[in-house]
């Protein structure tokens, strides 16, 4: 039996990495990333997205700039995040990156 919540978390992390890879070099605000995530998960919330952003930050795959007024988070890929998104390094468990087929 599959764990739907686990799949959702891990696939959302992959969506975040792809979104931020496409937003390079400027990065993106959290609400922009949420809009892309909602294409796959229409019921995704900002809190859920921020949890996954924080997870990716702790893995040093993204950098987050928090404004002092508590507004939108600005997110960018780190060099390791770029390598994961571009399949140049192995992806550790916790991110639902599809296998490279080309």
**DSSP bridge pairs for 63:** 76
Cα–Cα dist 1/47, whole Å: 27
Domains of the chain, start order: 4-85 (1.10.10.10)
Q: Which residue has the tokens 């080309």?
A: 102
Between 85 and 70, residue with greater pLDDT: 85
**Angle (CA) 60 62 94, round 5°:** 65
3-state secondary structure of 71: coil
pLDDT for 5 equals: 93
The pTM of this model reads 0.93
89-102 pLDDT per residue, tens:
999 999 999 988 77
Cα–Cα dist 28/57, whole Å: 14
């Amino acid at each position: 039996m599959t764990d739907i919540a686990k799949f959702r978390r891990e696939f959302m992390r992959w969506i975040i990495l792809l979104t931020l890879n496409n937003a390079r070099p400027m990065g993106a605000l959290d609400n922009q990333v949420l809009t892309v995530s909602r294409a796959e998960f229409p019921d995704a919330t900002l809190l859920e997205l921020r949890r996954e952003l924080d997870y990716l930050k702790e893995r040093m795959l993204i950098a987050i700039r928090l404004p002092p007024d508590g507004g939108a988070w600005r997110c960018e890929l780190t060099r390791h995040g770029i390598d994961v998104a571009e399949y140049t390094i192995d992806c550790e468990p916790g991110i639902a990156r599809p296998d490279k087929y080309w």
